[in-house]
Every structure is written in C-alpha cells, then in structure tokens.
Homo-oligomer: A and B are copies of this chain.
Amino acid sequence: MLAATTSASMSQSFERIIHDYSSRVNAQLEAILPAATGPAERLFAAMRYSALNGGKRLRPALCFAAADAVGGSDGNTAKVAAAIEMVHAYSLIHDDLPAMDDDDLRRGMPTCHIQFDEATAILAGDGLQSLAFQQLTELDNLPTETVLSLIAILSRLGGCQGMVAGQAIDLAATGKLVGLEQLKTMHAHKTGALIEASVLMGAIATRAATDGQLAALKTFARSIGLAFQIQDDILDVESSTELLGKQQGSDAANQKSTYTSILGLEQARREADKLYQTSMAALDLFAERADPLRAIADFIVKRNY
C-alpha cells in the first residue's frame, strides 16, 4: 500500500503541489472577480477580500489533484476550482455573520462583516455564489453536456440538498445533544458535499474519468471529507487561535455537539484514522497518479491548523 510511505515522502512535495495548485486557482480568481471600482465598488472589494485572502485552498487542491489522477489538470480545472472556492468563500462569509456563528476572525483576518459591514457581507456572499455558476458557463472546449453536468453537481452538492442543508442542520443542532448519526449527517452535508463536488468536478472536467474511477473518487471524497471535519473538531479543542486563524474553542462556546464532545478526543482520532485508511484504499486503482490526492489526504488528518 502506498499509504504507509506517504507521510515521509510527501511532506516536502506536498508544499510544492499545494503551492502550484493555489497559484493556479488564485490567478483564475483574480481573473473572474470584478475589479473594485465603479458604483458597486464596496461589494466587489468585499468579494475580493473574502475570496482572495489566502485560505488553504483545500477544495481547489482536491479538484486539481482529482483531475491529475484521471487525465491531467488544465485551464478548465482552474475555472472549476475557482467556482468551487467561490461557493466555499460565500458559505464562510454567511456562516461568520452575527446571526450565524458570529465570528470576528477568519484565516487570521477580520471576517467580511467586520472588515466591511453586515449588509455588504450578505451581498458579497450572494454575488460569489452567482459568480461561481457564471464561471462554469465560461469553460473552454468542453461539450455542453459536460458543462451542464458540472453545474448540476455544484447546484446540488453546494445547495439546499447539500452544503446549505448542512448549515441548517448545524443550526438546528446548536445547544442540543446530538447523536453520532445525526452529527455524521450534518457533516456529510456541511463540509462533505462540497469536498465531494471538488473531487468529482475536477475529474469530470478532464473528460477522461471512467465510471469506475468516479466511484472510487466518490468513496475517497466521502471518507476524507468526514475525516476533515473530525480533524476540525479536534483542532477546535486542542489547537490555538493563533494557529487556526480563527477563534479556538468556538464550538464549545457556541454549545455545538462535535466529534470530540460525543466520542472524546481519543476515539475521535481513531475515527479520523479509520476514514483516512478507507480514503487511501479507494485510491489504489490510480497508482502513482493519485499521489497528489494522497498528499492532500495526509495533510487533512495530520494538520494542526
């Protein structure tokens, strides 16, 4: 199994891969985001602030790495990655609002509504969502059926049956005791859905993905998506505000049920590791072409920020 050798050989190359993927999606975001001028200047400035403020670009990285696993990433991969990152950025802006999680810090910077104002933050989120769909209408030299299938995936997994439902389930659970299954359902929607979209859309946009490969990538995405969230819960308990770039301990402060509050820290770690193993096994059929996906999975379960 490649997984065992991953952490040693990939810690250095991971940085290079992520840097390359980040540069490509950042360049594409720069190209698609409107310049902050004209009568809607403040809206555009807020959209740029939130979409370009240097996050980990994990979803774009998954998108590029999935493309590289099946056919090879290209300019369309950057556009698909930019669309997904804009959906992610909009969800963070809205999630940080006073009526939602009421967070002042994001990625070590003031959140959008603190830097601008609440009304502008609401609109910046709205504008980023529509711009994501617009971006997908601007893919090059792809059959229109393929483009439509990408839009269908993003609207479903990023929408009210996916990510938005996850936020709603999260809201409903705040302040309540929640069981493990309900927590899994919430996370599968809240973070899992968009991670799955990233992997599937990156692969589909290459036009090289087989049904078998897509099935394996879906298994990979669902496992690593849940592992990502468990690690987030773990970090909310044991990392620091400085490393996280956001308020540490905010889950406990907001009385949220988490993997650590339900399972305890040790059992949560074991669960994350089990999911990591499942995700790695799903990549076997890609051999070394999935090394970037392996490196990202490795990062997800071992990161401390």
Contacts and interface: CB of A to CB of B under 8 A. Distances in A.
Given A42-B172, A144-B148, A119 B133 contact: no
A47 interface: yes
Contact of A160 (B100, B127, B144, B167): B127
Contacts of A148: 137, 144, 147-148
A185 to B, nearest CB: 6
A117 interface: yes
Given A43-B164, A127-B164, A164-B127, A134 B159 contact: yes
A182 interface: yes
Contacts of A161: 34
In terms of DSSP, what is the predominant structure of the interface of chain A? Answer: helix
Oligomeric state, in number of copies? 2
A251 interface: no
A39 B172 contact: yes
Interface string A179-198: 00010011001000000000
A164 B39 contact: no
A99 B100 CA distance: 13
A57 B201 CA distance: 35
Contacts of A155: 130-131, 133-134, 137
Nearest to A135: B155
A169 interface: yes
A160 to B, nearest CB: 3
Nearest to A149: B137
A292 interface: no
Contacts of A119: 97, 99-100, 171
Question: Closest 6 interchain pairs by CB?
Answer: A130-B159, A127-B160, A99-B118, A43-B168, A144-B144, A134-B155
